[in-house]
Each structure stands twice: as structure tokens, then as C-alpha cells.
Amino acid sequence: MVFVAQRISNKTSSVRSDTPPENMANTYTQIYIHVVFAVQGRHSLLPRQHKEALHKYITGITRNKQQKLITVNSMPDHIHLLIGLKPDMALSDLMRDIKANSARYINQNRWVRGKFRWQEGFGPFPILALN
């Protein structure tokens, strides 16, 4: 299977889900979305020594929302996620939860001096699966 990135403005596309939602019998979707979001001010505040812990925490948030985090990668000033989104969840709701809870986690663990915040918004880029 080959993945091709397709950029569209203010829309989300479809992602593959292994288990269809209970309220949508016989539904098969392939909604893969590459999401990028940044530290407020694009400051390099994500410590390398806590990268693995942050990735695991974000994975847990995504799984608790019954979504599939395919991969996560972070740089000191931003994060990339590849998410398999089920059609019963709005991407904006999932991202609100990921950003709010991960910022709280970073602040509770005092990984940065002062209050850590994510920049407002995020960049969603649908991925088209070609067979």
C-alpha cells in the first residue's frame, strides 16, 4: 500500500479503521490524517530526554478516545502525528484533547520553566491510500 499526501483546506478526509463504530454497521473507512502542531511561539521547549514519555502519553490519549495513533514524532518546537480517525470522532475534538492533556502533563512534570502551551490550531493533511 502506498500513501500519498493530499492537501485540502479546512476539510478532513477518510482514514482506515479496523473496527467500524457500533452505530454505523457495515461501515469501512480509510481516514488517515497527518497532523502537525507547534509549541506556542515555535520555541524549542520539548526536551529530547522526555520525548519517549511524551509520545507514550499522546498515544494513551488517542487510544482512550478509541482512535488509532499510527506514528508520532516530535522536534523541539513541534509534533507530527499520523492518526487513523474513525468517522464518529471530529478531528478538532481529538486534537483539543491531545493538546490540552499533553500540555497539562508537561506542566505537571515541570519539563519547562514557566507555563507550557501549544500554539493555537493545528495543520491537518489527509493521506490518500493507493492500492
Nearest to 77 by CA among 35, 124, 39: 39
Res 10: pLDDT? 39
Find the domain containing 100 and state its range: 2-130
Higher pLDDT, 128 or 38: 38
Task: Report the CATH number at residue 16.
Answer: 3.30.70.1290
Q: Report the domain count for the chain.
A: 1
Quick check: 103 and 118 in contact, CB under 8 A? yes
Res 16: pLDDT? 47
Quick check: 61 and 45 in contact, CB under 8 A? no
pLDDT tens-digit readout, 14-40? 444 455 555 656 777 789 999 999 999
Res 25: pLDDT? 65
Higher pLDDT, 30 or 125: 125
Give Cβ neighbours of residue 11 (< 8 Å, ≥ 6 apart): 126
Q: How many CB atoms are closer than 10 A to CB 64?
A: 10
pTM over 0.85, yes/no: no
pLDDT tens-digit readout, 34-77? 999 999 999 999 989 999 999 999 999 999 999 999 999 999 99
Query: Would you list the DSSP string of 36-98?
Result: EEEBGGG---S-GGGHHHHHHHHHHHHHHTT-EEEEEEEETTEEEEEEE--TTS-HHHHHHHH
How far CA 6 is from CA of 84, 100, 103, in Å, comes to 15, 27, 29
| Residue 46: exposure state from Cβ atoms within 10 A (0-12, 13-18, ≥19) | buried
Mean pLDDT of 1-17: 41
Mean pLDDT of 109-127: 96
Answer yes or no: is pLDDT of 4 > 50: no
Res 75: pLDDT? 96
